[in-house]
């Protein structure tokens, strides 16, 4: 499922591969990642590098790391609060230009439109039609 990595920021490549596996549905919420030993062998990295990547994914809200006999790294659903906080940090700490906001809109609007088409009711459509008229 994963490939070995080579780079100055190796942990970022591990993060990218695990995130891709989640986004593509190969890993789902509740799934347990392979053992630390297996991932170290698969990625061909040190324990410290793997742990750095896993901790980053935990902070981002993609994983929950549990300790103990039945522990390990488990895929979680991204929490709305963490997502909102990350987005807020991006908006507050970046000196945004109009072009930047347009790029954000290009990322968000197709997703929002898809969600709206799945949730819209006939009554909503009637109200929209009235507004357009």
Q: Identify the residue with better confidence: 8 or 129.
A: 129
Instruction: Give residue 4's pLDDT.
Output: 67
Give the pair of three-digit tokens for residue 66.
């549990």
Query: What is residue 55's predicted lDDT score, i.e. its pLDDT?
Result: 96
Average pLDDT value for residue range 13-35: 95
Alpha helix segments (H runs only) across 24-120: 36-43, 47-60, 80-93, 98-119
**129, pLDDT greater than 80:** yes
Mind listing the pLDDT tens digit for each residue in 59-83?
A: 989 999 999 888 999 999 988 888 8
Number of other residues whose CB lies within 10 A of the CB of residue 50? 20
Q: What is the architecture, at CATH level 2, of domain 10-75?
A: Orthogonal Bundle (1.10)
Domain map (residue ranges) of the chain: 10-75, 95-132
User: Which of 1-10, 29-38, 47-56 has the least mean pLDDT?
Assistant: 1-10
Element (H, E) at 66: strand 63-66
List, for residues 73-128, the tens digit of each pLDDT value.
999 998 888 888 888 888 888 787 888 888 888 988 998 999 999 999 999 999 99
Structure tokens at 114: 């898809």
pTM over 0.75: no
Rounded Cα distance between 40 and 51, Å, is 10
SS3 6: coil
């Amino acid at each position: 499922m994963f490939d070995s990595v080579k780079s100055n920021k190796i942990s970022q490549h591990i993060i990218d591969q695990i995130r891709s596996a989640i986004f593509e549905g190969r890993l789902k919420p509740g799934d347990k990642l392979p053992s630390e030993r297996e991932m170290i062998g698969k990625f061909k990295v040190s324990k410290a590098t793997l742990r750095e990547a896993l901790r980053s994914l935990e902070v981002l809200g993609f994983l929950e790391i549990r300790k103990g006999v039945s522990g390990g790294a488990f895929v979680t659903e991204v929490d709305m609060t963490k997502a909102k906080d990350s987005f807020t940090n991006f908006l507050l700490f970046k000196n945004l230009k109009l072009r930047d906001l347009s790029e954000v809109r290009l990322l968000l609007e197709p997703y929002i439109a898809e969600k709206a088409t799945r949730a819209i009711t006939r009554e909503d459509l009637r109200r929209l039609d009235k507004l357009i008229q």
